Amino acid sequence: MKRTHIILTIISLLLSLACAKRPVISCDIPADFPEARRQQLAGIFEKGKELYKINCSECHGIYGRGKDSIPNFGKEQFDNYKAKFLMGDPRNHAVLRKMNGEQLDQIFIFLRYKKVSWPGKKDEQKT
């Protein structure tokens, strides 16, 4: 009984340490956007976050075992990525064959408006 309690305590401590180091991803839409648009983007952001988690995180990180950060794309990179997607460029990510243009746009909204906070560290803001 005592041994089981000690083992469970150690497991609980290890799990809490692992969770404490995970980033918090939140939506950071500019305050000057109209409230209706902010609400609309927040909904799209959540859909994009889930699509990113399912389709992109394995290689690009944060949620999967890939790199340790989500890409910080600029407008030109978004435009180039979308153009390659629309042209069906075979060098584009294979996972994109599973998504449609609207889903890709939702992921882009997520990438554009994400805010990453690490416990105990200063926030990283995507611009």
Q: Residue 116: beta bridge partners?
A: 25, 124
30: left (phi over 0), alpha (psi -120 to 50) or beta: beta
Q: How many domains does the chain have?
A: 1
Q: Is 112 part of a structural domain of the chain?
A: yes
Q: Apex CA 107: angle with CA 101 and CA 111, to 5°?
A: 140
Give residue-wise pLDDT tens across range 70-107.
Answer: 777 788 888 888 888 888 877 766 666 778 889 989 99
Helix axes 101-113, 75-87, angle to 10 degrees: 170
Q: Is 1 part of a structural domain of the chain?
A: no
Q: Is 39 part of a structural domain of the chain?
A: yes
Give residue-wise pLDDT tens across range 12-35.
Answer: 666 555 555 566 777 888 889 899
Q: Is 84 part of a structural domain of the chain?
A: yes
Q: CATH number for the domain including 58?
A: 1.10.760
Q: Is 107 part of a structural domain of the chain?
A: yes
Q: Is 116 part of a structural domain of the chain?
A: yes
CB neighbour list of residue 82: distance below 8 Å, 6 or more residues apart: 101, 104, 105, 108
Q: Is 80 part of a structural domain of the chain?
A: yes
Q: Is 16 part of a structural domain of the chain?
A: no
Helix axes 101-113, 35-55, angle to 10 degrees: 110
| Enclosing domain of residue 114 | 23-125
Global confidence as pTM: 0.67
